[in-house]
Structure 1
Amino acid sequence: MKLLIVEDDIGISYIIARVMQDEGHKVTECHNGEEGLHHALYGEYDLIILDIMLPKVDGFTFIQELRKQRVDTPILCLTAKDGLNDRVKGLTIGADDYVVKPFEIPELIVRAKVLLRRNGKVNQEEQICYGPIAIQVRNRAITVAGEELTLTEKEYELLEYLLMNKEQIVTKEQIYNRIWGLDSEAGIGIVELYVHYLRKKLSSWHADQYIQTVRGLGYILRINK
């Protein structure tokens, strides 16, 4: 999973990032609301961990702007304010859950997992399946029809993203932003190249046909029945 952490306390941000990386997630860190909002609007993330008291753009404004732009990425808020009114306000304008500082790391991990599961990112066994393809998220093990499949890091991330969005069109831009990121020097043509690589590795099981090109838009993972 890909997480965005927006926290101005560098020490806290570092701890959260390391913990989430140990859980198998890819992490992007931002230390002010303006930078974080840019990443949230133009990147692709499965979860945002957001401090409320931020410089430049505060957490409440961050949430309102994100939801106004119809970005529905789940948001887990961090706040030193433990008043009921602050929690109610955050949840009312579009946050999904709150953790009050100082928090325990196990609680943060559990709440993050709950939001990811609630949004269909992983199931209770942290496994993503579609047809004969199965991914064990924690150790990135992949099988097709019960046989092991070996992929490079980017091939894995592409397959995982397609599986998480199965039977939905994802654009080349979405794939590029999600896997290579806004700061990548690779051109968007890299997406088509890696789709070719992935199809080739799935062809032994005739599963390459599941990755279908939608002309002028992008791709869809779909099994024709």
Structure 2
Amino acid sequence: MMKGVHFLVAAVLLALVSSFASASDPSPLQDFCVALNDNASAVFVNGKFCKDPKLATADDFFFSGLQNPRNTENQLGSNVTLLNVDMIPGLNTLDISLARIDFAPYGLNPPHTHPRATELLVVLEGTLYVGFVTSNPDNRLFTKVLNAGDVFVFPVGLVHFQFNLGKTNAVSISGLSSQNPGLITIANAVFGSNPPISADVLTKAFQLDKNVVNYLQRRF
């Protein structure tokens, strides 16, 4: 009896370890699973429903216009065009998405994380200063200046950024290892949450005067 219990506990632990080790999207069990938003269904799934494969068309796997420059006239001077499963339904279950990032001179893609994806960035035009920070307790910063044709990797879940060092526009393309990588922009999440995080919490966490915290919350 005890041997059976030990075996069951070991099996459960092995299943948990295997679950945590599988950090990517679920593997496909067919050639493709074109995403279908079925708002009439009351069942929530971790991902998307699948269209009948016989009804899929080439347009489900297609997007046009990524070559066109994006508008960077904003406070950060950057614009991210994300092609995830919501933009290309055929990406569903395929563990991948794509992003074009446009930078005005000295434009910034601010510190952020992708909770579900590693990012592989290649610079097409311009010069970018990029970096990521490792987790606690080291919080080690890895940075590099990239020129056209250079490639850099941002590991899954880590805070990272890109900054245009040049006086001209810059463009990069990123591949991400999830059909829906997610995005958490640090400043927006901390100072722009809805409802706001208590100013007392942020004052103590960032060792700032409460008036500064209140100012930052108004900004975001």
TM-score (normalised: structure 1): 0.24
The structure whose residues are more often helix, as a share, is 1
- The answer to which structure, 1 or 2, has the higher relative contact order (CA under 8 A, 6+ apart) is 2
TM-score (normalised: structure 2): 0.24
